[in-house]
């Protein structure tokens, strides 16, 4: 039997769009373009997974979809209006201060393979996941495979001595572009990948950061492939401001065997708390106090709702195969324990270890600026499109790229003088335009008066200062 015709959900979606456009007219003074509406529907939708076994004789696809959330869609439109980042033209395109380098969310998975689709596409994405929840007590990990620019596949894997069937568990994930980045609060972030067959009983692979951190960062690692299907963790040790070491570890009964080369993703982020793209976060390490007993990890950041949590064992004090599980996640704390397995013997006690963790409130797109490896500062590049672009170098509440004494600025490329606009914080008298050529980029330099010192915040490539009249700028 073939089912055809219009989905029964069509009237509900159409009605929601009518309400969304009415709200946009009231708050933005215009209707949303098709592109804007599609983007808001995707970003505000709630992910659901067609993977639960409901014993209804229906074969589930294992795919993850977005479900319309009218309240979240309305809030996204209100946020768009409050940020004052939309040009009056419905065809305008806002070019943001920072690159969209990733996203994060929380999903449910079991031992069946399922696909998770990103809200946008990435050039070289790396996936990091949280410890599994503790709905079932059997040892288990999240296994990632088939990482693409717009999706990845995942399943819950048990050791070989178990039956391999595992029920639903919850976990958080973060996807990030490889590279060296800086958050708006100054925190550093590096993301990379390494191909290795290093095993903890034989050798360790060294990860060297592209740029040294001022202090030892918080590090994470995650196997990205399943070139060999054996149950496998990653372990870490010897983190410093310059790098750290990582290796793989199979279940205890197979620890003396070899493992095929796998791609392992790694991340290093400055320790501390702050706000990342509008989401409160905390990155940190526990002392060497976490064992196989449940450990209460208290958050120092004030979270309004339960955060997503990513975590790794950060030390190698105990050599037995070990992973992490979590339970009782709240706005104040989460309970973490180290889980061994019984493939070789019944002993599952584990000595004290330090746990690296990243807690982030909410879910959505993460942005950061490229970190300049030559100057040790934060630079960025904004490239125009064929539409009417608004290059955002400031908002009503803040100016971007104006840290005093720092060689931080943004390079604007493909600026079209007859249609594009540069948005700046403050007044016209706060800025000065100068013809500029440093041998790498020639055009107009935008300087901001900061405490009687001209601070370079941007260069409009290929455009001289006389060509930039008042219509090229919007002051907020």
Per-residue pLDDT reduced to its tens digit, 320-372: 878 899 999 999 999 999 988 766 777 778 899 999 999 999 999 998 888 75
Average pLDDT over residues 189-207: 92
* Strand arrangement, sheet containing 307-313: 272-276, 279-285, 355-361, 307-313
Interval 93-108: pLDDT, tens: 444 445 789 999 999 9
pLDDT given at position 85: 35
Interval 24-83: pLDDT, tens: 766 655 567 666 777 788 778 877 776 656 556 666 666 666 788 888 888 888 776 654
Q: Please state, in angstroms and rounded to a whole number, the distance separating the CA atoms of residues 380 and 434.
A: 19
Average pLDDT over residues 242-260: 84
Q: The tokens of 185 are what?
A: 């609060």
Q: Please state, in angstroms and rounded to a whole number, the distance separating the CA atoms of residues 111 and 446.
A: 55
Query: Is a pLDDT exceeding 80 seen at residue 203?
Result: yes
Residue the block writes with tokens 């951190």? 213
Of 119-133, 229-243, 330-344, 419-433, give the lowest mean pLDDT range.
330-344
Other C-beta atoms closer than 10 Å to the C-beta of 415 total 24
Average pLDDT, the chain: 82
CA angle 170, 75, 383 (to 5 degrees): 90
CA angle 432, 433, 435 (to 5 degrees): 145
The percentage of the chain sitting over the pLDDT mark of 70, rounded to a whole number, equals 82
* pLDDT class of 190 with cuts at 50, 70, 90: very high
Query: Is a pLDDT exceeding 50 seen at residue 224?
Result: yes
Q: Please state, in angstroms and rounded to a whole number, the distance separating the CA atoms of residues 395 and 227.
A: 47
pLDDT given at position 235: 93
The candidate with the shortest Cα–Cα distance to 234, out of 270, 200, 271, 259, is 200
Q: Please state, in angstroms and rounded to a whole number, the distance separating the CA atoms of residues 384 and 410.
A: 13
Other C-beta atoms closer than 10 Å to the C-beta of 386 total 9
pLDDT given at position 59: 67
CA 122, distance to chain mean position in Å, is 11
The candidate with the shortest Cα–Cα distance to 218, out of 326, 314, 308, 315, is 314
Q: Assign residue 405 a region (left: φ > 0; alpha: ψ between -120 and 50; beta: otherwise).
A: left
Most confidently modeled of 83-92, 168-177, 225-234, 381-390?
A: 168-177
Contacting residues for 397 by C-beta, under 8 A, at least 6 apart: 425
pLDDT given at position 253: 65
* pLDDT class of 407 with cuts at 50, 70, 90: low
Query: Is a pLDDT exceeding 50 seen at residue 86?
Result: no
Average pLDDT over residues 257-267: 90
Q: Please state, in angstroms and rounded to a whole number, the distance separating the CA atoms of residues 409 and 392.
A: 12
Query: Is a pLDDT exceeding 90 seen at residue 440?
Result: no
3-state secondary structure of 462: coil
Most confidently modeled of 56-60, 151-155, 415-419?
A: 151-155
Q: The tokens of 249 are what?
A: 């570890």
pLDDT given at position 374: 47
Q: Please state, in angstroms and rounded to a whole number, the distance separating the CA atoms of residues 189 and 182.
A: 6
- Note whether 186 and 180 are within 8 A (CB): no
Query: Is a pLDDT exceeding 50 seen at residue 406?
Result: no
- Note whether 180 and 267 are within 8 A (CB): no
Pick the residue with more confidence: 294 or 141? 294
Of 42-46, 240-244, 290-294, 471-475, give the lowest mean pLDDT range.
42-46
Predicted TM-score of the model (pTM): 0.63
pLDDT given at position 80: 65
Residues paired with residue 327 on neighbouring β-strands, in sequence order: 335
Contacting residues for 12 by C-beta, under 8 A, at least 6 apart: 68
Residues paired with residue 245 on neighbouring β-strands, in sequence order: 206, 237
- Give, in order, the Cα–Cα distances in Å from 281 to each of 78, 126, 314, 365: 23, 19, 19, 14
Average pLDDT over residues 265-294: 93
Count of residues in the chain? 476
* pLDDT class of 303 with cuts at 50, 70, 90: very high
* pLDDT class of 417 with cuts at 50, 70, 90: confident
The candidate with the shortest Cα–Cα distance to 24, out of 69, 68, 67, 79, is 79
Q: The tokens of 199 are what?
A: 């095993």
């Amino acid at each position: 039997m073939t089912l055809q015709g219009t989905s029964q959900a069509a009237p509900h979606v159409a009605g929601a769009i009518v309400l969304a456009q009415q709200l946009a007219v009231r708050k933005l003074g215009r209707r949303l373009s098709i592109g804007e509406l599609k983007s808001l529907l995707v970003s505000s939708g709630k992910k659901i997974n067609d993977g639960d076994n409901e014993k209804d004789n229906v074969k589930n696809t294992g795919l993850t979809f977005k479900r319309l959330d009218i309240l979240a869609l309305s809030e996204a439109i209100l946020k768009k209006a409050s940020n004052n980042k939309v040009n009056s033209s419905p065809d305008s395109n806002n070019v943001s201060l920072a690159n969209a380098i990733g996203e994060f969310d929380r999903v449910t998975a079991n031992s069946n393979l399922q696909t998770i689709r990103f809200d946008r596409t990435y050039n070289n994405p790396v996936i990091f996941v949280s410890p599994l929840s503790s709905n079932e007590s059997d040892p288990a990990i999240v296994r990632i495979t088939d990482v693409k620019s717009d999706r990845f596949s995942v399943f819950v894997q048990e050791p070989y001595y178990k039956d391999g069937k595992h029920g639903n568990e919850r976990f958080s994930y973060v996807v990030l572009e490889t590279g060296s980045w800086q958050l708006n609060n100054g925190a550093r972030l590096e993301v990379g990948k390494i191909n290795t067959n290093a095993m903890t009983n034989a050798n360790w692979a060294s990860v060297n950061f592209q740029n040294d951190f001022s202090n030892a960062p918080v590090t994470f690692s995650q196997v990205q492939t399943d070139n060999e299907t054996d149950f496998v963790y990653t372990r870490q040790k010897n983190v410093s401001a310059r790098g750290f070491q990582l290796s793989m570890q199979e279940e205890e009964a197979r620890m003396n065997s070899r493992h095929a080369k796998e791609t392992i993703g790694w991340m290093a982020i400055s320790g501390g708390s702050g706000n990342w793209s509008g989401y409160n976060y905390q990155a940190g390490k526990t002392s060497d106090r976490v064992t196989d007993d449940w450990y209460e990890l208290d958050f120092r950041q004030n979270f309004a709702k339960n955060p997503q949590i990513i975590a790794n064992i950060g030390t190698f004090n105990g050599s037995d195969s070990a992973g992490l599980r979590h339970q009782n996640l709240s706005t104040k704390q989460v309970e973490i324990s180290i889980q061994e397995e019984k493939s070789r013997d019944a002993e599952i006690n584990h000595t004290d270890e330090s746990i690296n963790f990243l807690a982030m409130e909410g879910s959505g797109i993460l942005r950061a600026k490229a970190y300049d490896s030559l100057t040790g500062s934060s630079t960025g590049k904004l490239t125009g499109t064929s539409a009417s672009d608004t290059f955002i170098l400031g908002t009503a509440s803040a100016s971007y790229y104006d840290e005093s004494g720092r060689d931080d600025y943004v390079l604007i490329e493909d600026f079209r003088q007859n249609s594009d606009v540069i948005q700046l914080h403050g007044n016209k008298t706060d800025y000065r335009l100068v013809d500029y050529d440093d041998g790498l980029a020639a055009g107009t330099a935008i300087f901001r008066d900061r405490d009687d010192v001209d601070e370079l915040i941007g260069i409009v490539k290929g455009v001289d200062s006389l060509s930039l009249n008042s219509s090229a700028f919007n002051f907020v």
